[in-house]
Amino acid sequence: MKYSEMDIAALSALLQKREVSARELAADALSAIAETDGTIGAYLTVAEEEAYRQADAADEMLKSGTAGALTGIPFAMKDNICTKGVRTTCASKMLGNWLPVYDACVTEQLKKAGAVMLGKTNMDEFAMGSSSENSALGVTRNPAAPDYVPGGSSGGSAAAVAANECAFAIGSDTGGSIRQPASFCGVVGMKPTYGTVSRYGLVAYASSFDQIGPLTKTVADNAKVLEAISCHDRRDSTSLPQYDTNYSALIGKDLSGMRIGMPKEYFGEGIHPQVAELVKNAAKQLEQAGAVIEECSLPAVSYALPAYYVLCCAEASSNLARFDGIRYGFRAEGIEDLDQLYRKTRTQGFGREVRRRILLGNYVLSAGYYDAYYKKAQQARTLLIRAFAELFAKYDLLLTPVAPTPAYKIGEKSNDPMEMALGDICTVPVNLGGLPAISVPCGKIAQDGAELPVGFQLIGPAFSEAKIYQAAAAYEKSGIAAR
């Protein structure tokens, strides 16, 4: 087996035994990117010099005996997370050549752990989209079927892991942007509890929803990465104290007594029948592993999608107001006055989907419409949070599909924003509630000669990541998960 095909645990064992160096792993990963990324398009920036610099530092850590589980492991970073001196674009013309002067907290944490960053991955512009087609800098393709989307907005991160162009990747999840591409590409993706991973240095889309998380080849790897990036950070006012970050603690333990609910609303109209079948098969496997599986109901989930798009667009319109052509980033030419500067810069610098969401956000926050839209959306969010709390009084976890369909062909839905938005129906409730959830591969669907991966989602109450990993790993161990 090639190094690039190995998971974190296997690579770490080789590094600890000194059978390979971090520099050799970096060279191998960079070679894999050179060979395959011309087809996949997962990376926007390959940081070769930075990768070798970090690899040499990792080798020193290995020699000194201070190495950890991620020391020397090559990874990729989503391009909306700041990396000092390495281009960070958010896949937008607005930030096409921006070099941050500081590292995001998650970047600092991974440097501290000795992980080796290979580069920055493609995404939907400013994380607004579900297919990675909204990137201003190129389209990413699904490694399982190159004519199909990899999902989004963390499509480049998911594709890089699936194509063996890195051992793990970091993404961000505002409404499913880690979990949905993980499902489409056949990898493991975790959206942690809101506040678990600092958002300092993450270019904001919707601040009350955004959360950083890992994409990996295995469940155990995912837990290890989350352990490395979780921390309390005073620079992020929403960062929460971390009392127990041993997310691997329950992996390997049986599921006896674990109660898992399957809300019937997630299996209704619009869910591809083969997706529903694969998720239900996963439920049977978890039942064989000792869990108690029951059908339940979450009617408040019907509010989730409209509430999500009202609130996210409102927050986006505020967050993206800083891109004005004055302080940094793209600036339009041929300007005659200040009004023209704003209008031309923002029209030319932002793509169609970003402009659409800014306009929607400004509308729902405007006088006369605030109460009708924004206030009602916040009330719906509260109702959903309460409904989740009621279910978690009965169940340890909830089991649902990640996406209503498998991946679709590039260009198939790009001109239908409503159809694209419906693809988030299974994931956005988690972000509205600030809850943790994971996507785990559970099979493939044959379609037009392609084998398209499908994942199931496990949702837990706040700070239940260890229990989620326990159940996910038990399923993975069963041998059903498609690899």
Which are the catalytic amino acids?
Answer: 78, 153, 177
Residue carrying the six token digits 């790897």: 221
- Give me the amino acid identity at 25: L
How many beta carbons lie within 10 A of that of residue 394, not counting itself?
Answer: 10
Query: How many angstroms separate the CA atoms of 227 and 231, rounded?
Result: 9
Query: How many angstroms separate the CA atoms of 65 and 392, rounded?
Result: 43
- Six token digits for residue 36: 């395959």
Query: How many angstroms separate the CA atoms of 203 and 209, rounded?
Result: 13
Q: Name, in order, each residue with C-beta under 8 angstroms of 299's C-beta and a sequence gap of 6 or more.
A: 265, 387
Is residue 153 reached through a cis peptide bond, with omega within 30 degrees of 0 on the bond before it? yes
Query: How many angstroms separate the CA atoms of 119 and 388, rounded?
Result: 38
Kindly give the pairing relationship between strand 437-447 and strand 450-459. antiparallel
Cβ pair 219, 251 in contact under 8 A: yes
Partners of 224 in the beta sheet?
A: none
338's torsion region: left (phi>0), alpha (psi -120 to 50) or beta? alpha
Query: How many angstroms separate the CA atoms of 407 and 151, rounded?
Result: 7
CA distances from 396 to 392, 435, 468 (A): 6, 13, 9
Range 348-352 contact pairs with CB under 8 angstroms and sequence separation of 24 or more? 348/93, 349/92, 349/93, 349/94, 349/323, 349/325, 350/92, 350/93, 350/94, 350/125, 350/126, 350/320, 350/323, 351/92, 351/93, 351/125, 351/134, 351/136, 352/134
Query: How many angstroms separate the CA atoms of 117 and 120, rounded?
Result: 8
Handedness of CA 69, 437, 441, 128 (dihedral sign): negative
